[in-house]
Each structure stands twice: as C-alpha cells, then as structure tokens.
Amino acid sequence: MSQRKPPDVIVVGAGAVGAACAYHAGRAGLSVTVVDRGPVAGGTTGAGEGNILVSDKEPGPELELALLSGQLWRELADALPPDIEYEPKGGLVVADDRERLDALRALAAAQSAAGVEAYEVPAAALRDLEPHLAPGLAGAVHYPQDAQVMPALAAARLLRASGARLRLGEEVTGLLTTAAGRVRGVRTTRGDLHAPAVVNAAGAWAGSLASGIGAGLPVLPRRGFVLVTEPLPRVVRHKVYTADYVADVAGDTAALRTSTVVEGTAAGPVLIGASRELSGFDRTLSIPALRRLAAGAVALFPVLAGVRALRAYAGFRPYLPDHLPAIGPDPRVPGLVHACGHEGAGIGLAPATGLLVARALTGGELPGWTRAFRPERFAAAPKEARPEGGPP
C-alpha cells in the first residue's frame, strides 16, 4: 500500500492566521497540511471579535500590513461564502474631552497621510452616526475602512478553500530537523509528519513551538474578556471605542487595563470589550474585569443599561514585547517560517500575513517594510507560561 506523499509545508495552528497561510500557500501551488491540537478556530480566533481595523494602528509597518489585509479581506468577501459575515461597517473612535480629541486628531492626520480614510466628526453630528451614543462627548473620528467578520467561520472557509489536509485534535510536541539543522517536519502525539517547511502559526502558544531547536520567540498570552449581550436590533451601527483603547493596545503593563469597545454584529448580539492583562494561561473569570467592561459600555451607550449579558468568554492574545508580529523565515532554522505575535489584531492581519508567508515559501520578494517583522529580532526568548497540552 503506497503512503501519502508528504506535503510541501506543514502549518501549525488552525486559527485565522494559520488558515490564511494555508490559503495563500495553496493558491501558490503548494500542498499543505494543517495541524492543530483542537478544532478549527479553537484558540484565540474563536475568542475574538473578528475585527479588521486600521483605526488603531499608528503609521508604520503594522499599518501597511493592515491596509494590505483590508484590501485582501474585501476580495475574500467576494470569493468566500457569505456566512463569514464580512461587514464593512466602519469604526468610530470617540473622545470625551478636548485633550483626548486633540490627540485623536493628530493620530488621524498621521494615519491619513499614510493612506487611511479618517474623517473628524464634531460632537453635534455624532448621533447622526450613532443615535444611541451618550451626550457630552467632545467629538470623534470616523474610519470607514474598519470592518468585521465572523472569525471562526472565516477561518473554516479559508481552510476549505485552501485545499489543505487537516489534522485536528493532534498536538505538535516539537519540530524535526536534519543533522544540518534544517526543518524536516513536526513530531505530534500521533507520530511524525514530514515536510521541507513548517509555518509556526500557533498563536499564543507559538513561543514554545521552536524553543527546543533554539528558535523560540518571547510570545506571551495577554488575556482579554468579551461580554456578549442578548440579540438586539441594530443599536450599535459601527465599531465604537474610546480613544484610550489605542493607548491600551500599545501599553506594556501586566496589570488589568480596560477601555470601552462596543460593537453590534450581523447576528444581533452586541460585543463588549476590551480588557488586557498578562496573567499567563489563566482562564479564571475576572468579575472586576467584567464589571469594568459593563460599566464602560453603559456609560458610552446608556440604552444598554437594561440589556442582558448572556455570556462572557476569555481569550489569549499572542503578545510580543514590541507589539509587532513575527512574520517570515527564521534564519536560525532553515525551513521554519513564523506567522505569530499579532496580539489582538490577528484576524484583521491574517490575509496579508498569509500572503507574505506564501511569498517567503516560494522565494517571492517581500516589501521593505516587512523587515520590521523579522523573527530574529529577538535574540533570546524568555520562558513563558505554558498551558496544559503545549502548542497546537
């Protein structure tokens, strides 16, 4: 009986980033196997809100990645089934005082110069965009390019369209290398899988995947909670968040930080965030965090005071110290390509990440700004909190 031919590339991780890597690698003519210890979107992607944002990115490499991804998501919305719920609803960043509004204006001006659509909205016009906003806000900036997808279905549809072979419920326990130090596959709980290239798209678990062969990354899990309300008519039309959110995304404190993020969904529930804390892989429900999220949402949208929150869930953002992802070949281990460390932006940045990874796998040219994402920029990776079961 003949054995199945080894794939050209193994992707570790079946979340949005891994799915996008498989999709673009498949379109480039490569055969792909995707391995994950759980189901599709069973990690960070399944706990995400599906945001596709440019509004929270400062000018630089990450914004370039976000602009490219936004374009690719628009193309994917036409190519994939409509159940991915792609919605170009736009974002609205609000400021509650003059000082924050001035800072928001300065950021929007810099973003506009880099290719972002950003339009100031005076206080008197805010309710034209969001009729249920609280009074007394100083103003806002509207970002029409912000969008949203249903993240788990988007990942599933990308994987199906990729033509990749899926091996779910199979934990990767390490990487296989040749005597010369080149990748030759992965070791899993079900045996060894061979391929000349491996993509590390293991999300919050990506730091330890290659540590055994000297190519670890300092990825840490940054926990966040989301509150989900009962289904509602379209009370919130855009992704609406306070100007403090941008600072929290870029912050480095390990302690709990919250800023108000409220958005409606095509299915009806309103999603409420956002919290951030470096607490390891601890899924314990944090009542203080949930109280802060609920209070912030009601302060921004008083109409939500009488709405039931049906559930809350936690997820782990894959955090790197400089707040930039690691994307591209690892020169320490030929054949290893990283696609991780996107923190809370992985779903939005997934298509462009996948495209860059596919180009790296096929010897294509990468834009100059991608040098900021070089995995080798981290000389040594500290030991991070390790979850039960290890990487996907």
Tell me the pLDDT tens digit for each residue of 14-54.
999 999 999 999 999 999 999 999 999 999 999 989 999 99
Residues 299 and 331 both lie in one domain? no
As beta bridge partners, residue 360 has none
d(CA 133, CA 153): 30
**Could you report the per-residue pLDDT of 181-207, keeping only the tens digit for each?**
999 999 999 999 999 999 999 999 999
Residue 330 Cα to chain centre, angstroms: 21
Q: Which residues contact 240 (CB under 8 A, 6 or more apart)?
A: 91, 92, 93, 94, 130, 133, 261, 262, 263, 300, 301
Residues 312 and 344 both lie in one domain? no
pLDDT at 392 over 90: no
* DSSP strand pairing (257-264 vs 270-276): antiparallel
Q: Which of 70-79, 241-250, 276-285 has the lowest mean pLDDT?
A: 241-250
Q: Which of 28-37, 214-223, 335-344, 381-390 has the lowest mean pLDDT?
A: 381-390
Dihedral (Cα; 137, 138, 142, 148), 10-degree rounding: -30
d(CA 352, CA 345): 12
**Could you report the per-residue pLDDT of 329-367, keeping only the tens digit for each?**
999 999 999 999 999 999 999 999 999 999 999 999 999
- Closest alpha carbon to 188 in 202, 207, 170: 170
**Could you report the per-residue pLDDT of 228-255, keeping only the tens digit for each?**
999 999 999 999 999 887 766 666 677 7
Give the count of domains, the chain: 2
Residue 388: what pLDDT? 43
41: CATH: 3.50.50.60
d(CA 76, CA 135): 38
Residues 153 and 60 both lie in one domain? yes
Residue 1 Cα to chain centre, angstroms: 42
Residues 84 and 101 both lie in one domain? no
Are 32 and 8 in contact by the 8 Å Cβ rule? The answer is: yes
Q: Quote the mean pLDDT of the chain.
A: 92
Q: Taking the CB of residue 161, how many other CB atoms lie within 10 A of it?
A: 17
Of the residues 274, 295, 319, the one at which a domain ends: 319
Are 330 and 355 in contact by the 8 Å Cβ rule? The answer is: no
pLDDT at 83 over 60: yes
Please indicate, yes or no, whether the overall pTM of this predicted structure exceeds 0.95.
no
269: CATH: 3.30.9.10
Residues 81 and 161 both lie in one domain? yes
pLDDT at 384 over 50: no
Dihedral (Cα; 262, 287, 310, 283), 10-degree rounding: 90
**pLDDT tier for residue 258 given thresholds of 50, 70 and 90:** confident
Buried b (16+ CB within 10 A) or exposed e, 312-328: bebbbbbbbeebbbbbb
Residues 159 and 67 both lie in one domain? yes
Which SS3 state, helix, strand or coil, does residue 195 take? Answer: coil
Per mean pLDDT, which of 254-258, 263-267, 358-362 is the most reliable? 358-362
Residue 255: what pLDDT? 75
Residue 248: what pLDDT? 62
Of the residues 277, 303, 319, the one at which a domain ends: 319
Of the residues 291, 319, 347, the one at which a domain ends: 319
Residues 67 and 183 both lie in one domain? yes
d(CA 45, CA 151): 6
Residues 308 and 174 both lie in one domain? no
Residues 291 and 175 both lie in one domain? no
> What is the dihedral sign for C-alpha 233, 235, 237, 238?
negative
Q: Which of 85-99, 104-118, 267-281 has the lowest mean pLDDT?
A: 267-281
Q: Which domain holds residue 293?
A: 91-144+220-319
Residue 383: what pLDDT? 43
Residue 385: what pLDDT? 41
Residue 145: what pLDDT? 98
Which SS3 state, helix, strand or coil, does residue 225 take? Answer: strand
Residues 187 and 265 both lie in one domain? no
pLDDT at 211 over 50: yes
273 burial (CB, 10 Å; 0-12 / 13-18 / 19+) is buried
Q: Which of 56-65, 141-150, 159-168, 276-285 has the lowest mean pLDDT?
A: 276-285
Residues 184 and 259 both lie in one domain? no
Residues 51 and 120 both lie in one domain? no
d(CA 172, CA 199): 12
